[in-house]
Structure 1
Amino acid sequence: MEDHMTGCTQENNKEKRYECDVCGKAWEKPSKLEAHRRVHTGERPFDCSECDKNFTRYASLLRHNRVHSGEKPFACSDCGKSFKTKQELKIHQRVHTGEKPYGCSACGKSFAQLSGLLRHGLVHSSERPFTCSDCDKAFKSSQELKAHMRLHTGERPFTCSDCGKSFKSSKELKVHRRQHMGERPYICSDCGKGFKSSPELKMHMRLHTGERPFTCNDCGKGFIRSDSLLEHQHTHTGVRPYTCSDCGKGFTRSHGLLVHRRTHSNERPYTCAQCGKGFTCSNSLLQHQHTHTGERPYTCSQCGKGFTCSNYLLQHQRTHTGMRPYTCTQCGKGFTKSTRLLSHQRTHTGERPFTCTQCGKGFTQSNSLLEHQRIHTGERPYTCSQCGKGFTRSSRLRSHQRTHTGERPFTCTQCGKGFTSSTKLLEHQWVHSGQRPFSCSDCGKGFKTTQELKVHLRVHTGEKPYGCSTCGKSFARLSGLWVHQRVHSSERPFTCSDCGKAFKSSLALKVHRRLHTGERPYTCSDCDKGFTRLSSLLAHQRTHSSERPYTCTQCGKGFTQSSNLLVHQHTHTGERPYTCAQCGKGFSRPNSLLSHQQVHAGD
């Protein structure tokens, strides 16, 4: 260790006559020798009257008493900051002077404090002499071990006087206090962003330099932080050492467990000053605030797309590189995020740990449950500033806003057609490939997405979970309920610019516009006949195959479309839901009502 300390200030050359009979160390004064001997005997004769802590030297007790009194008599002439001891002030002044008198002989790195050099020396020696008795993790210093032990004991002795939050170390509390004061003294010279601590700035700088000094031996992935590498390695080993005592969910990080526990306690300590929305962690609040400011500080160098946090940018860049580092061991499917792999694995196990308390429905992800609960509450927290339409998810609001701006950033490489979201582009690409990977187990019909299959299955089960509060009519799709509710309000917000006809949904307007343009994008491969709707093409193709997948349970008659089956069932029930407004006569089919109305028109 002495080899790494060439920059140390040499001891003065006074004669040292008083030698310790235990270790041989010499002192120039008998009082210093006496104080030193207490290191060997363990004697601490100077007791603090307030906290019972004891010390080997009276001067140490005096310094400690300032912790209780808050006294900081030594002030910096440059910045006014105060300190409890002359030594602390002396070390602090090196921040202004840039002096780093302790240099490492191995790599040349310099330090403002001797303790910093001593800790750094262990980097070269790989020595970690202080080991945790609970988990065998080793540390470079006793102070690091002491702080680590609080993970096991749960001790958080340092409490914030503003919000009551507790911390494992005084340094963590000091950094946290800057959140309340708004202080970010460490500024990035490249982008001007401020940080609460120098390590945060150092790690941030790696975003600009591209430096990733911590590399995974299994997959070669690099990280800007050592703890990020440690957490990543758990994805290879499957270890989740931090477990929730309420639901059994495991986490790779203690912080992840801490944030998760707030989902059980409903604690949301971080609140948005603009809209009052609460969040379980400060990062989520910071990202949310970007939705108010519109700020997207992290930009993709390849496509220019902006993101609210660096992690989202990192995940997005994998769409360009094609990298999917998280692979399912059962089916080999790759994912860009470890959380998506975890959710996917539940499709194999059938696990749905997040359950709705109102209807009992289970979900594989907590955010899916949160979005589902908005169906019951009617909450739509993301509102379009142009038309007032509300959405349950911020991503759906962003896609919707593109209908106003005309932006379609996701383009099909085969036909050049643009889309407002990557999901819609993916679904469209299956039109070219003909791929329908999700099949119905009842009728064999294929679908492009799991959501389409899920909605289709309601045809067989009869499930209609979305009910109209006005008339009680139920629907298999939430969008069907929204469109239906316009029957009661007579609202038809979508108007054709050619003929002025109004429609209840944007999809109905889109299909209608094809009457003016003559567009028939869905073509039969057998007879080349074109159709304005995909459903019309599918029904037509059954005339070639003679397929009739919709069967009446009472008489066994088959139909090519579910709507024809529904009309047919009226012949068994006697129901006549289509009524003439002029004479009150009822009909079982809508076209029969239309023919009847011509009788009145002829009168």
Structure 2
Amino acid sequence: MTTGRDLLDQHMASKEEQREMDQRCGLIDARMRPVVKLYRIEQCVESSLQVKMGSPEPTSTVSIKQEPEDEVKVKEERLDLVLHLSSGFPVLSAVKGQRSLAKPNHHGCDQCGKHFTSKGHLTAHRRIHTGERPYHCHQCGSKFKENVDLIRHQRIHTGEKPYGCDQCGKKYTQIAHLKTHQRIHTGEKPYHCNQGGSKFKTTSVLKIHQRIHTREKPHGCDQCGKYFSVKSNLKSHQRIHTGEKPYQCNECESKFKTSSALISHQRIHTGLKPFHCDVCGKDFSQSNALNGHKLVHTELKQYQCDQCGSKFKSNVALVIHQRIHTGEKPYGCDQCGKRFTQLINLKTHTRIHTGERPFPCDQCESKFSVRSNLIKHQRIHTREKPYGCDQCGKRCTRMDHLKTHQRIHTGERPFHCDQCKSKFKTKTELMQHQKIHTGEKPFGCDQCGQSFTRMHSLKTHQRIHTGERPFPCDQCESKFKTTSALKLHQRIHTGLKPFHCSQCGLSFTGSGDLQRHERTHMKEKPYGCDVCGKHFTQLGNLRTHQRIHTGEKPFHCDQCGSKFKGSYDLIKHQRIHTGERPYHCHQCESKFMAKADLIKHQRIHTGEKPYECDQCGKRCTQLSNLRTHQKIHSGERPFHCDQCESKFNMRSSLIAHRRIHTGEKPFHCSECESSFTTSSHLRNHERSIHTQT
């Protein structure tokens, strides 16, 4: 039974507790009021959510139990509601710090000393030290430290995206991703860099950006030791060592190391160019291409090389340039070992091994391994020549062709041979020249075995076997194996002779003709036969001559089976079958099968006799006539009859003489039955007998 004394003691104790509480509340200053208010808001939200979900049933087990996904979503909604209702209060980090005064951190980690307000938080924290991942995905076997991470992961398998944007409808698996996305619409960038003033949508992007200032690269490759500021860059880099290409194009068989590379590649098929230049309106398929293009509109080059003083518009261009000085080639081919200064050059090179040509022409069947080659090729169809010379007006399809052309005006030859004193306008010409010293001929014909220093020379040579003549003249029916041969031929129609001899003033259609002519003045014959010692002005003439000794006749007529030592001899012979006479005299109606015959004929009209005898001064229209004449002075008669002792200074005289022994008379008179051994005898007969009658 409770006495009055007991009631009085209880009353006095409650009063004492009230006084102590009032004293404690007096210690709370104005800064603590938002914390108390925030705590009350959380209690209200907790109560409302318990009503929404129903009161949880008590459990006596300590085993880890997976929370329902609805409960996780409600927790995320509770956090959003708390943050929303607490807007207008001090910064959340400060609130959390003051809130710890109201809720002491009683739960401490015995390994690192960190304290937590709840035992659940401490348990989750300890898994960092133990490595424990008690939540398992039953579909792929992945493990997680917390149940909420497991539920988010499972949405990958289910495809569920419960959080939708109310402006564009895009959906996400996590509410944090939705909030980041919504900043695209609002333009909000709440995270500021305290060094450069840059602003970012997420803290993760801010942290990555700050590593530019700190130069921190925490993610290291365990194979080559290279470090990266972003973990995703490390993963992409490691695929260089493993060769893994997990992203495949569903329209072709191309594979890629990163999803971004796949997305960029797919724009080749779709033709999508989503990046627009707001200055000139040009569209690009990749953002880095747009950024590089924008530098065209600005003259600012703020990145300077400290070794040579060259300036660049981007830091990337400077880094690539500096590899010229350091000799660094960080990108290596895992098939042949060749190394490159740029990753794009390595990618292009690997297509040599794979045979991949991902850039097709939409007008013909050509395919290319590099997009730039496709663009250059398409100018054949469009006939576009965007690069013009400001001195002569000539236009080129490529910038490098224009630069090479401009060296004609400047006389610049920046590429030097380190073995001789030769200089060249282009690096390609230098590399071709160096093969003279090394004797290298890497390109071989699979039909006749002949080797060449250049791939282009091999392709031209192979047309001898195939008979292909892809370059037709638009004024006559002639066709040619090379564009250079077509250009020389077209000068027959135009009469253009741009190459002039500085000694005698003669003009020529081709530079090779001029060089051969100049050797007549210098008496130069640089190409000698190692069998008989005969010398020639042209290398081709020497090779043709050497076939006299070897008996080789590699050029065959497919109509009659005749064989020839030189390709030009075959061409001239084939005109017998076709009746083609492509060389026309502009002063009369004469036509000729060979250019040399036309030149000889034209001397009838001009009266030119370029070949002079150095003993008597007699001049001849043909070199062969001069050589025959010189035998008069030397008394040389190199052509012997094998049936008698007669000797002759000309092969034609020997042939005519042999008809005396054989009785052959191949020249017949058209008006009587007389026959003669030589054409000159026939002409004398016709003049003396038939013209008199």
CA RMSD after TM alignment: 5.9
Separation of aligned partners in 2, 1:110 and 1:418: 71
Further displaced range: 316-325 or 288-297: 316-325
2:472 matches 1:472: no
Matched with 1:15 is 96
Q: CA deviation at 1:400?
A: 6.0
Indicate which of 286, 311, 317 corresponds to 1:197: 286
Paired AA for residue 273 in structure 2: R
Indicate which of 319, 343, 347 corresponds to 1:255: 347
Q: CA deviation at 1:166?
A: 0.6
CA contact (8 A) 1:522 1:531 kept: yes
Unaligned stretches of 5+ residues in structure 2: 1-90
Separation of aligned partners in 1, 2:304 and 2:648: 61
Unaligned stretches of 5+ residues in structure 1: 1-9
Separation of aligned partners in 2, 1:329 and 1:346: 12
CA spacing shift, 1:255–1:485, aligned 2, 3 Å: same
Listed one character per residue, the Cα deviations across residues 148-172 of structure 1 (whole Å, up to 9, x for unaligned) are: 2322322111110001101111111
Listed one character per residue, the Cα deviations across residues 533-566 of structure 1 (whole Å, up to 9, x for unaligned) are: 6x56995997899799x999x9xx9999xxx669
Q: CA deviation at 1:369?
A: 3.1
2:238 matches 1:149: yes
Matched with 1:183 is 272
Separation of aligned partners in 1, 2:224 and 2:216: 18
2:577 matches 1:488: yes
Matched with 1:396 is 484
SS at match of 1:14: helix
Further displaced range: 360-369 or 202-211: 202-211
CA contact (8 A) 1:46 1:61 kept: no
CA spacing shift, 1:407–1:385, aligned 2, 3 Å: same
CA contact (8 A) 2:190 2:200 kept: yes
SS at match of 1:276: coil
CA spacing shift, 1:103–1:456, aligned 2, 3 Å: farther
Which structure would you say has the larger RCO, counting Cα contacts within 8 Å and 6 or more residues apart? 1
Q: CA deviation at 1:463?
A: 4.2
CA contact (8 A) 2:348 2:369 kept: no
CA contact (8 A) 2:556 2:564 kept: yes
Q: CA deviation at 1:362?
A: 2.4
Q: CA deviation at 1:506?
A: 5.1
Paired AA for residue 487 in structure 1: I
Q: Which has the larger radius of gyration?
A: 2
Matched with 2:67 is none
Matched with 1:379 is 468
Further displaced range: 26-35 or 271-280: 26-35
Separation of aligned partners in 2, 1:143 and 1:326: 43
CA spacing shift, 1:487–1:138, aligned 2, 3 Å: farther
SS at match of 1:15: helix
Q: CA deviation at 1:288?
A: 1.9
The correspondence of residues 117-132 of structure 1 with structure 2, limited to 5 A, is 130-132=219-221
Structure in which a larger fraction of residues adopt helix: 2
2:458 matches 1:369: yes
Paired AA for residue 241 in structure 2: H
Q: CA deviation at 1:298?
A: 3.4
Separation of aligned partners in 1, 2:440 and 2:185: 57
CA spacing shift, 1:348–1:161, aligned 2, 3 Å: same
Q: CA deviation at 1:178?
A: 0.6
CA spacing shift, 1:105–1:163, aligned 2, 3 Å: same
CA contact (8 A) 2:333 2:350 kept: no
Matched with 2:84 is none
Q: Identity of counterpart residues, as a percentage?
A: 33
Indicate which of 234, 241, 252 corresponds to 1:163: 252
2:288 matches 1:173: no
Q: CA deviation at 1:196?
A: 1.5
Separation of aligned partners in 2, 1:571 and 1:68: 103
CA spacing shift, 1:492–1:381, aligned 2, 3 Å: closer
Aligned length: 574
The correspondence of residues 103-502 of structure 1 with structure 2, limited to 5 A, is 130-188=219-277, 193-206=282-295, 226=316, 230=320, 242=332, 250=338, 252=340, 253-262=345-354, 268=357, 270-319=359-408, 326-331=415-420, 333-383=422-472, 387=476, 389-393=478-482, 395-396=483-484, 399=487, 403=491, 427=515, 439-440=527-528, 442=530, 443=533, 445=535, 447=537, 458=547, 463-502=552-591
CA spacing shift, 1:24–1:241, aligned 2, 3 Å: same
* TM-score for the superposition, normalised by structure 1: 0.69
Q: CA deviation at 1:69?
A: 5.0
CA contact (8 A) 2:519 2:537 kept: no
